[in-house]
A and B are shown apart, each in its own frame.
Chain A
């Protein structure tokens, strides 16, 4: 007879279905869930995609909380430069009335075309320009909810409300985990603080806690409770674990058929393995000097984000399903002093983000890994002047929120390379062509993973809940390779 442990140790190489069916045969799987019933049991065993054509196996999302100014980075608008200083010829949807102005501000940064595809980038992101042919630039993003929290929610959980499960939770709920030694869903937080909405950026909402994002902290200890306390290091812990397992084995042997007891023994073993596996995955010193330099780990300005991008690659390489990398609270919310604050924000991420795509590509991982770079909004074509600076003095001015049309880029996992999708109006205010709403984006992502929103459901309050809640959501074919 094969024990569950042997199956699990032989690992997932067997193929998910084979393992699952073997386990089922052995009666070792957690109880299946029954619609609308009592306490349920959930697991992270790998589950095959339901629709076969999923190319994506993993996703890394670099979430630029605050709202990067698309018209200063990715979406050139000569019309704005022409009208610079004049009144905006139309209506602007302001968020902050106090600082509102109608004075058009052209981009202070020069744009040029890059790659064979001729994709536009401003001088702020020279490294991203270098991966033009590997990414799809979506210039027609739209959430339409004009504040940070709501728009963050829209992009993470599909609604303007807080408390629903985030994308990473849905994916791990639907597909399980590929690595039995690491958490399936990881959030890499910024040393400058959590983004707006804090832990809701990676919450499992009301999905069971196994689908929760595990925080890998920006500094040691990177995972809570991962390191043994001082008095339990080394042999002391080894003996402790052995002893606990012996007691648990005896206990389970006297209670045959109790799969949960077995599952708990397993989870203890996983925890013990994680101490080593996670340590290993997080140890970027194992990387070559060239790789470290590529990600900018050697430079003060890019050390943090570079390290986290590198960790993300190491995690995905090891079978982690979903990794979120966050920038600090409102890093991109350039209401004022955009002339200095935006370049600083760009320098923090430009090189590492581009390195991540290149590195995944050279390792043959890009085809199966979706990479996302973007925030919850873009910015308005007009000046926001909170400091009351005189006309013409641009030092302290910025731009206000714009969720009606903004850019973000995606790569790998079945997305096109070297492609610009959709367009905003001539001022970059509203998405007007091939609009991609947050729910379209989600439907497309699920499609790439071989899932369908209407099938990936969770019963709650008597109804089937899913990530995509808008009836008009559609898979955006134009984004697919």
Chain B
């Protein structure tokens, strides 16, 4: 099945719907959206009315343009609009409209071309939203929902789900077995497989006290430091985290971005209320001035708080920003637009960035909306006085530390100055020695020539010096060569002085830099203005705009935002936006976040299109549940951990994922959730699991990212780049000392060189602004990687070595059982055991005849052949790590 034939199916569905709908077709509901998408651009929007035709209102259509009325009610055949659409004459130079759209318009004309209500007098004063647009579900206040009667279900989530299941004569599936439950919970909450001991303990405890054991399990997982790493990764997708600038070929490294990553992990682990988390990321710098914390605060706690708040604003510095390499207007503007996209995805679940060049084609978001929201960030971006990424780094040094650093610098400079003098002296000494080799009569002239600044030498002097190359070539950088001639140690002495200066500098207090988004304090009148750009072109500014939330919400809540606040020395605009978004009644933020959390627990959101709550997105499968969850979330102090507990305590989450014919027939996509869904491990979770099972996983947290590099074969792997300045491989290997076994969230994300394993398994390379939802591909390069990649072999070897170590005197059978337990959390059945045993025996025998060494992805390979038993075990572990049982969670 392909995408096009599906379009056919949808078409069919729409037609059926329209045909059975009793309500008459109206301009607002049925016709205007089509015209808005295809025709407004030339006929009405932005002052453009080609052929003097404006199609934004029904009465404008009646009036028509140069060629007469566009429609004649009741007579589609005679209506110019219908004719032109049918003949494909309009939209000009574009494909014909879909037949169903033309049919809708024709039917509407035929039925009298009615409107739902009287049309507005004027379109000039306010952006026009139809009632249909204003009443779109995601713009409505959170509904006051009553939980359905808890008859059979004891859990509100189950009650909501059951109600819909019953309508389709479906019911929940049975609870999954304890192994499935613990694996699912462990992967969902920590992104790591449970250990065999944890699996056994949970099974045993569940026998005794099912609900107590489950409670304890969830508590333990939520308290694990791995929780923040797992859910931090989800948030970093939305934020568009990367350790490089992207955009240009240079893809400059972002040396300090990791602090934001750590901030996210720590915030999630401490269950920082999500509203606070949002406000800090939008306006940490302004919150800091409200709280009165700064780099010079008296206490360590206050300084740490300042660092935290400033780091949080790194969120607004995550977008690709090429201005470090190419600082022009377009590149600057692109970075701002990308930031707007990230803000829009993360907090609005809308595609506001689509309104950059013109009113949104589908949603009631005007071009002004885009620029009004942009104006919230304008003082920080300050496009007029743009600062490139490095200039935006903020130092956390105290004034005292800065002074100390300056003093130490001065101290070092004294030594350096002395060194320079010494060097000059040495050069003169050598010069005199060299002069002795020349004719006595020439010496004075040569000396003068040599001591004349190069640029000021006369041609005669140049020629003279050329005749004495050993003098001509004598410079600071060649001085060391003369040490050999004269058996002196000048160079050593100079080096020692350099070292001395360096040693003094070592005493400098470390200058911690943060990649932050800040504003310069400024008077309200000095705040840079924001202009709407004609058709999105930053070189064509039009009217000035002021900060505002989406205008479509203005029917029931305040949307204007202050241009400046008195409470902070900066504009305070971001502070104000943060407050509005997290006031608990904003229709989007809580819904969007609850939906994201739901997606990560079920594979699909209640709103499938997690980043598009607009007209092209999918409507919620369970709107009441979504609203109830959003309100619970807010009522529970925006606690994400409470939200996980709530969801994971439902039968809906704990049920098994097994399909059956009935369920597949009635609800093939499982939108009603009569079962759980199988999920493939994400790229990072796959790698972390490989490390966990092979016993290599490092528990070290935070800090600078683990570097990635190209191998000679052009693969991107973890390692320290040792290519030379021309980019050639030197063959040198520098050990990472166990850093290579850290969790995936700590691996450097260089946009231009995504780790092979990550790229193959759909991790976002962040060449876009961010990743709203990951695609899921099933392609052969993934299988080739699992089969043949040396890195996979390494994991398998480590796993085999672990088995050898942990089952020293064990039988083949017991070793296999242990392997199974580690990889899958369960024991093999009889058949698996015997097949694995045969496999192991055959492979071991093979390596006895065909010896081989252990494999290394990079670094020196041991020349000695490995023990055939170890190689046999490696074959077994490699197979286990390549299977679907390892790659999928039930």
Of A215, A217, A236, A258, the contact of B843 (CB 8 Å cutoff): A236
Of B713, B785, B854, B882, the contact of A244 (CB 8 Å cutoff): B882
B362 partner residues in chain A, CB cutoff 8 A: 462-463
A247 partner residues in chain B, CB cutoff 8 A: 832, 879-880, 883-885
Question: How distant is the Cα of A202 from the Cα of B599 in the complex, in angstroms?
Answer: 32
Question: How distant is the Cα of A235 from the Cα of B852 in the complex, in angstroms?
Answer: 14
B669 partner residues in chain A, CB cutoff 8 A: 31
A258 partner residues in chain B, CB cutoff 8 A: 659, 678
Chain B residue at minimal CB-CB distance from A31: B669
A33 x B775 contact (CB < 8 A): no
Of B5, B92, B247, B884, the contact of A248 (CB 8 Å cutoff): B884
Smallest beta-carbon distance A84→chain B, Å: 37
B883 partner residues in chain A, CB cutoff 8 A: 244, 247-248, 251
Question: How distant is the Cα of A128 from the Cα of B242 in the complex, in angstroms?
Answer: 47
Chain A residue at minimal CB-CB distance from B866: A231
Asked if A284 CB lies within 8 Å of chain B CBs, one says: no
A39 x B776 contact (CB < 8 A): yes
Asked if B93 CB lies within 8 Å of chain A CBs, one says: yes
Asked if A53 CB lies within 8 Å of chain B CBs, one says: no
Asked if A454 CB lies within 8 Å of chain B CBs, one says: yes
Of A39, A42, A163, the contact of B604 (CB 8 Å cutoff): A39
Question: How distant is the Cα of A166 from the Cα of B666 in the complex, in angstroms?
Answer: 39
Chain B residue at minimal CB-CB distance from A461: B351
Question: How distant is the Cα of A474 from the Cα of B94 in the complex, in angstroms?
Answer: 9
Chain B residue at minimal CB-CB distance from A452: B95
Asked if A243 CB lies within 8 Å of chain B CBs, one says: yes
9-residue interface stretch from B27-35, B460-468, B610-618: B610-618
Q: Which residue, B249, B599, B715, has most C-beta atoms of chain A within 10 A?
A: B249
Chain A residue at minimal CB-CB distance from B658: A255
Asked if B743 CB lies within 8 Å of chain A CBs, one says: no
Asked if B782 CB lies within 8 Å of chain A CBs, one says: yes
Smallest beta-carbon distance B398→chain A, Å: 42
Asked if B601 CB lies within 8 Å of chain A CBs, one says: no
Q: Known contacts A230-B853, A232-B793, A257-B659; decide if A36 and B783 are in contact (CB<8 Å).
A: no
Asked if B4 CB lies within 8 Å of chain A CBs, one says: yes
Asked if A221 CB lies within 8 Å of chain B CBs, one says: yes
Of A229, A235, A471, the contact of B846 (CB 8 Å cutoff): A235
B10 x A267 contact (CB < 8 A): no
Interface residues of A in 180-205 (CB under 8 A from B): 183, 197-198
Interface residues of A in 100-157 (CB under 8 A from B): 149
Asked if A214 CB lies within 8 Å of chain B CBs, one says: yes
B878 x A38 contact (CB < 8 A): no
Chain A residue at minimal CB-CB distance from B852: A231
Asked if A395 CB lies within 8 Å of chain B CBs, one says: no
Question: How distant is the Cα of A208 from the Cα of B781 in the complex, in angstroms?
Answer: 13
A240 x B768 contact (CB < 8 A): no
Of A42, A228, A268, the contact of B775 (CB 8 Å cutoff): A42
Interface residues of A in 259-291 (CB under 8 A from B): 260-261, 263-265, 267-268, 270-272, 274-275
Asked if A5 CB lies within 8 Å of chain B CBs, one says: no
Of A38, A224, A251, the contact of B884 (CB 8 Å cutoff): A251
Q: Known contacts A39-B775, A260-B678, A461-B354; decide if A209 and B780 are in contact (CB<8 Å).
A: no
Q: Known contacts A461-B353, A462-B614; decide if A239 and B778 are in contact (CB<8 Å).
A: no
Interface residues of A in 209-249 (CB under 8 A from B): 209-210, 214-215, 217, 221, 223-232, 234-237, 239-241, 243-244, 246-248
Interface residues of B in 257-297 (CB under 8 A from A): none
Chain B residue at minimal CB-CB distance from A454: B95
B871 x A231 contact (CB < 8 A): yes
Asked if B759 CB lies within 8 Å of chain A CBs, one says: yes
Question: How distant is the Cα of A255 from the Cα of B456 in the complex, in angstroms?
Answer: 86
Question: How distant is the Cα of A149 from the Cα of B330 in the complex, in angstroms?
Answer: 15
Asked if B762 CB lies within 8 Å of chain A CBs, one says: yes
Question: How distant is the Cα of A263 from the Cα of B887 in the complex, in angstroms?
Answer: 13
Question: How distant is the Cα of A243 from the Cα of B847 in the complex, in angstroms?
Answer: 17
Smallest beta-carbon distance B380→chain A, Å: 24
Asked if A303 CB lies within 8 Å of chain B CBs, one says: no
Question: How distant is the Cα of A251 from the Cα of B889 in the complex, in angstroms?
Answer: 12
B879 x A243 contact (CB < 8 A): yes
B783 x A271 contact (CB < 8 A): yes
Asked if B418 CB lies within 8 Å of chain A CBs, one says: no
Of B10, B353, B874, B888, the contact of A231 (CB 8 Å cutoff): B874
B603 partner residues in chain A, CB cutoff 8 A: 39
Interface residues of B in 607-629 (CB under 8 A from A): 608-610, 612, 614, 616-618
Question: How distant is the Cα of A223 from the Cα of B171 in the complex, in angstroms?
Answer: 49
Q: Which residue, B752, B788, B887, has most C-beta atoms of chain A within 10 A?
A: B788
Of B341, B608, B767, the contact of A163 (CB 8 Å cutoff): B767
Count how many pairs of residues, one from A and one from B, have CB atoms less than 8 Å apart in the complex. Answer: 243
Smallest beta-carbon distance A456→chain B, Å: 8
B361 x A226 contact (CB < 8 A): no
A236 x B775 contact (CB < 8 A): no
B790 partner residues in chain A, CB cutoff 8 A: 229
B789 partner residues in chain A, CB cutoff 8 A: 225
Smallest beta-carbon distance A238→chain B, Å: 10
A29 x B787 contact (CB < 8 A): no
A462 x B616 contact (CB < 8 A): yes
Of B604, B664, B850, the contact of A257 (CB 8 Å cutoff): B664
Q: Known contacts A455-B95, A462-B612; decide if A267 and B780 are in contact (CB<8 Å).
A: yes
A271 x B612 contact (CB < 8 A): no
Question: How distant is the Cα of A76 from the Cα of B363 in the complex, in angstroms?
Answer: 54
A299 partner residues in chain B, CB cutoff 8 A: none
Interface residues of B in 1-17 (CB under 8 A from A): 1-6, 9-10
Question: How distant is the Cα of A206 from the Cα of B603 in the complex, in angstroms?
Answer: 21
Question: How distant is the Cα of A42 from the Cα of B774 in the complex, in angstroms?
Answer: 13
Question: How distant is the Cα of A36 from the Cα of B786 in the complex, in angstroms?
Answer: 32
A217 partner residues in chain B, CB cutoff 8 A: 713-714
Interface residues of B in 561-615 (CB under 8 A from A): 599, 603-605, 608-610, 612, 614
A261 x B609 contact (CB < 8 A): no
B1 x A20 contact (CB < 8 A): yes
Question: How distant is the Cα of A366 from the Cα of B603 in the complex, in angstroms?
Answer: 46
Interface residues of B in 744-781 (CB under 8 A from A): 752, 756, 759-760, 762, 767-768, 773-781
Asked if B545 CB lies within 8 Å of chain A CBs, one says: no
B879 x A240 contact (CB < 8 A): yes
Question: How distant is the Cα of A240 from the Cα of B887 in the complex, in angstroms?
Answer: 17
Mark each residue of chain B from 518 to 542: 1 if its CB lies under 8 Å from any CB of chain A, else 0: 0000000000000000000000000
B680 partner residues in chain A, CB cutoff 8 A: 260
Asked if A337 CB lies within 8 Å of chain B CBs, one says: no
Of A50, A209, A275, A471, the contact of B777 (CB 8 Å cutoff): A209
Asked if A24 CB lies within 8 Å of chain B CBs, one says: yes
B843 x A255 contact (CB < 8 A): no
B780 x A270 contact (CB < 8 A): yes
Question: How distant is the Cα of A23 from the Cα of B353 in the complex, in angstroms?
Answer: 39
Asked if B479 CB lies within 8 Å of chain A CBs, one says: no
A267 x B778 contact (CB < 8 A): yes
B667 partner residues in chain A, CB cutoff 8 A: none
29 CB-based A-B contacts, threshold 8 Å: A20-B2, A34-B608, A34-B618, A38-B604, A38-B773, A183-B780, A197-B249, A214-B781, A215-B714, A225-B789, A232-B793, A237-B787, A241-B787, A243-B839, A244-B882, A247-B879, A252-B884, A261-B888, A264-B778, A265-B884, A267-B780, A268-B780, A452-B95, A454-B95, A455-B4, A461-B341, A461-B351, A463-B361, A474-B93
CB-based closest 5 A-B pairs: A454-B95, A271-B783, A38-B608, A257-B659, A231-B852
A residues near B (Cβ < 8 Å) are 20, 23-24, 27, 29-45, 47, 50, 149, 162-163, 176, 183, 197-198, 206, 208-210, 214-215, 217, 221, 223-232, 234-237, 239-241, 243-244, 246-248, 250-252, 255-258, 260-261, 263-265, 267-268, 270-272, 274-275, 452, 454-455, 459, 461-463, 471-474
List 15 additional A-B contacts (Cβ < 8 Å) besides A240-B843, A251-B883. A29-B1, A34-B618, A50-B4, A223-B784, A231-B871, A239-B846, A248-B884, A256-B660, A257-B664, A258-B659, A260-B680, A267-B782, A271-B781, A463-B351, A463-B361
